[in-house]
């Protein structure tokens, strides 16, 4: 090795030792007679000290001529520091150098490579290899590594076998657009990159593998957000001869294991909530249960009192923001503006304050008597000092809007602490979802999901009411994983494809291989996949998954560091029999 120790290693015990360190010059402080260098590597920072008159002149000058991010090798003696730094583990010592060797010079970096940086997002993405030198970013990847190890340890211990599945495949229906790859050897034909290994893992069950997992890249061509990347990583799992109950228990075990091993946090048994309740009480299939503030429906209390907005509404529903009655007019106006934003789409906000004497003062006092308003307070279990916020309108839209308002209030009231974790299972999802645009049903999870046997009788008359054996794991309002018990019977699978509007020929062309496999002894099976990047960002207390991916893409799906995607040469296009046309300028 070029070094005897790392920059994070030396302590008081090493005082007096002659050591060799290598690393990057993070900072150089030149006070004339004294010069300090912070030398950094992956393990930490060690201070090098040079003193005019004590350090030989040529060495002092050599140190002075170093620039930020130079890669150097230093020979020196470990000395106890006069003024110690308790912020870093090596803060009790420093190195008095006897030799400096420049291993490589460096151009001035485009931003500060320190915990707090002056670099904007774009610049840091372009020079991602420099950003990765920063401790907070490196820590995120260390966390990811730790998570990956803990996942493998748990699944290995539970007899899962990791099997790799191909990346050049044909479309898997996970509800997004496919990335496609042209095939040179098969002109005019394309592979699709997997949106998930769904069909392969089911085929592995037919092969008898029984318990499969894979930490695997998946690709979905969707519009991007903070928690989405075109390529992302799943912990993908499938099991045979299991019930939904077995799967929930196995994977809640995985999550508890991760919390314990990686964060030292003990998680109780995960509560379960039906999809119907999640929508009714939280307006979302991924409720943030770190705080209560459940929805209270008011229809019977508010109708036919002359307030047209409520009379015309399909649903009148509200939340109780406990202790927020002191909200000023300005704050309430902000909330009204918030719910009226086009993304949220409410037409207005009704509020009612429970005053110190227990009486209720509302924005609709004109229409409701004090007794009416008392009945509201009772429905919300409201106490003096509470603020009731009520929305009205179309059922689904109003629930969605109130969900946003609830989250906003949770945020404002400090109820969404990143160090508190509230995982739960949401179960009994509908099998199908009506799509207004295409005027037909879509699979809510994917077309391989099994209906609940007891709901099968609804298949002809009320398919929209069929529930699936499908489940999501939700933590702090984030869907971290989801899966289902699968169909393993060819006839039922065919029926499902028909329901989804596939002709027999289409179903056969796209998924014939799977339906054929079902005729060779397919075991009952089911599985789940976790969004690994999301899980990492959640554990790391961040909102964006980008910081937990070594080389992420920006919001336009570009890797600005390597400049991809990029045009390819005409010769390459010819080889693929592809002709460009009408490119948007």
Binding region for ligand ASP (CB under 6 A): 174, 196, 198, 482-484, 527-529
Give dist(CA 295, CA 285) in Å, integer.
Answer: 14
Q: Has 229 been labeled as part of a binding site?
A: yes
Nearer to ligand ASP, 5 or 525 (CB): 525
Whose Cβ is closer to ligand ASP: residue 237's or residue 402's? Answer: 237
Q: In this structure, what is the dihedral angle of CA atoms 12, 17, 20, 21, given to the nearest 10 degrees? A: 10
Instruction: Choose between 422 and 484: whose C-beta lies nearer to ligand ASP.
Output: 484
CB of 284 to ligand ASP, least distance (A): 18
Residue 83: both structure tokens together: 């003024």
Tell me how far, at minimum, the Cβ of 207 lies from ligand ASP, in Å: 17
Is 221 among the annotated ligand-binding positions? yes
In this complex, which beta carbon is closest to ligand ASP, that of residue 313 or of residue 528? 528
**Known binder of ligand: residue 178?**
no
**Structure tokens belonging to residue 402:** 């109130």
CB of 196 to ligand ASP, least distance (A): 3
Shortest separation between residue 481's beta carbon and ligand ASP, angstroms: 8
- In the complex, minimum distance from the CB of residue 201 to ligand ASP, in angstroms, rounded to a whole number: 7
* Closer residue to ligand ASP in complex, CB, 47/484: 484
The annotation status of 533 as a binding-site residue, yes or no, is: yes
Compute the Cα dihedral for 416, 418, 419, 421 and give only its sign: positive
Residue nearer to ligand ASP on the CB measure, 327 or 425 = 425
* Separation CA 508–CA 124 (nearest Å): 48
**Shortest Å distance, C-beta 253 to ligand ASP:** 17
- Residue 532 annotated as binding? yes
Q: Are 362 and 316 in contact (CB under 8 A)?
A: no
Is 479 known as a binding-site position? yes
* Cβ neighbours of 451 (radius 10 Å): 25
The strand order across the sheet containing 387-393 reads 296-297, 315-321, 387-393, 350-354, 360-362
SS3 353: strand
Q: Which is nearer to ligand ASP, 297 or 479 (CB)?
A: 479
State the nearest-atom distance from the C-beta of 165 to ligand ASP, in Å. 12
Sequence-distant (6+) residues with CB within 8 A of 117 are 111, 124, 131, 134
Cα–Cα distance, 109 to 194 (Å, whole number)? 38
* Residue with token string 């109950």: 245
**Of 9 and 174, CB closest to ligand ASP:** 174
Six-digit token string for 495: 């029926």
**How is residue 566 annotated by DSSP?**
-
Contacts of 512 (CB under 8 A, 6+ apart): none
Q: Look up tokens 């590597």; give the residue.
A: 41
Per-residue tokens: 470 = 């499908």
Q: Which of 199, 229, 194 is nearest to 212 (CA)?
A: 199
What is the closest distance, in whole angstroms, from the C-beta atom of residue 449 to ligand ASP in the complex? Answer: 7
> Which residues are part of a known binding site?
174, 220-222, 229, 445, 479, 486, 531-534
> Which residues are part of a known binding site for ATP?
220-222, 229, 479, 531-534
> Which residues are part of a known binding site for L-aspartate?
174, 220, 445, 486
């Amino acid at each position: 090795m070029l070094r005897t120790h790392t920059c994070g290693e030396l302590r008081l015990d090493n005082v007096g030792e002659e050591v060799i360190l290598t690393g990057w010059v993070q900072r150089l402080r030149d006070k004339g007679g004294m010069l300090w260098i912070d030398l950094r590597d992956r393990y930490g920072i060690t201070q090098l000290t040079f003193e005019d008159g004590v350090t030989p002149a040529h060495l002092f000058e050599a140190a002075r001529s170093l620039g930020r991010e130079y890669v150097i090798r230093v020979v020196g003696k470990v000395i106890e520091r006069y003024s110690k730094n308790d912020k870093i583990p090596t803060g009790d010592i420093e190195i008095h150098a006897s030799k400096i060797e420049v291993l490589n010079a460096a151009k001035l970096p485009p931003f500060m490579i320190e915990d707090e940086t002056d670099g904007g997002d774009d610049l840091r993405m372009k020079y991602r290899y420099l950003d990765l030198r920063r401790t907070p970013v490196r820590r995120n990847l260390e966390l990811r590594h730790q998570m990956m190890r803990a996942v493998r340890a748990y699944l290995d211990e539970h007899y899962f076998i990791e099997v790799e599945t191909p990346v050049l495949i044909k479309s898997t229906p996970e509800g997004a657009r496919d990335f496609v790859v042209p095939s040179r050897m098969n002109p005019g034909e394309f592979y699709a990159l997997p949106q998930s290994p769904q069909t392969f893992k089911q085929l592995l069950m037919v092969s008898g593998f029984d318990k499969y997992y894979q930490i695997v890249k998946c690709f979905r061509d969707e519009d991007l957000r903070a928690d989405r990347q075109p390529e992302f990583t799943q912990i993908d799992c499938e099991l045979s001869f299991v019930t939904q109950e077995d799967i929930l228990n196995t994977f809640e075990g995985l999550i508890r294991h991760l919390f314990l091993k990686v964060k030292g946090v003990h998680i109780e048994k995960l509560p379960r909530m039906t999809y119907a309740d999640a929508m009714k009480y939280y307006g979302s299939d991924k409720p943030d249960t770190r705080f209560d503030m459940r929805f209270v429906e008011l229809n019977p209390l508010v109708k036919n009192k002359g307030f047209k907005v409520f009379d015309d509404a399909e649903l009148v529903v509200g939340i109780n923001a406990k202790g927020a009655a002191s909200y000023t007019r300005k704050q309430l106006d902000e909330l009204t503006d918030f719910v009226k934003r086009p993304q949220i789409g409410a037409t207005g906000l009704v509020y009612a304050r429970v005053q110190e004497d227990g009486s209720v003062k509302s924005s609709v006092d004109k229409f409701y008597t004090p007794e009416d308003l008392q009945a509201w307070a009772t429905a919300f279990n409201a106490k003096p000092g509470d603020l009731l916020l009520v929305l009205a309108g179309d059922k689904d839209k109003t629930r969605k809007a109130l969900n946003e308002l609830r989250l906003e209030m949770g945020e404002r009231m400090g109820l969404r602490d990143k160090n508190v974790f509230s995982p739960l299972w949401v179960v009994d999802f509908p099998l199908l979802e009506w799509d207004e645009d295409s005027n037909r049903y879509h699979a809510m999870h994917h077309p391989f999901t099994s209906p609940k046997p007891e709901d099968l009788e609804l298949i002809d008359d009320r398919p929209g009411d069929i529930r699936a054996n499908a489940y999501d794991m939700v933590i702090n309002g984030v869907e971290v994983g989801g899966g289902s018990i699968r169909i393993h019977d060819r006839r039922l699978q065919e029926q499902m494809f028909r329901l989804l509007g596939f002709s027999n020929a289409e179903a056969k062309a796209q998924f014939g291989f799977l339906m054929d496999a079902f005729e060779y002894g397919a075991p009952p099976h089911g599985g789940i996949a976790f969004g690994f990047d999301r899980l990492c960002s959640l554990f790391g207390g961040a909102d964006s998954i980008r910081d937990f991916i070594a080389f992420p893409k920006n919001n336009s799906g570009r890797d600005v560091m390597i400049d991809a995607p990029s045009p390819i040469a005409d010769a390459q296009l010819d080889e693929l029999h592809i002709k460009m046309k009408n490119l948007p300028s």
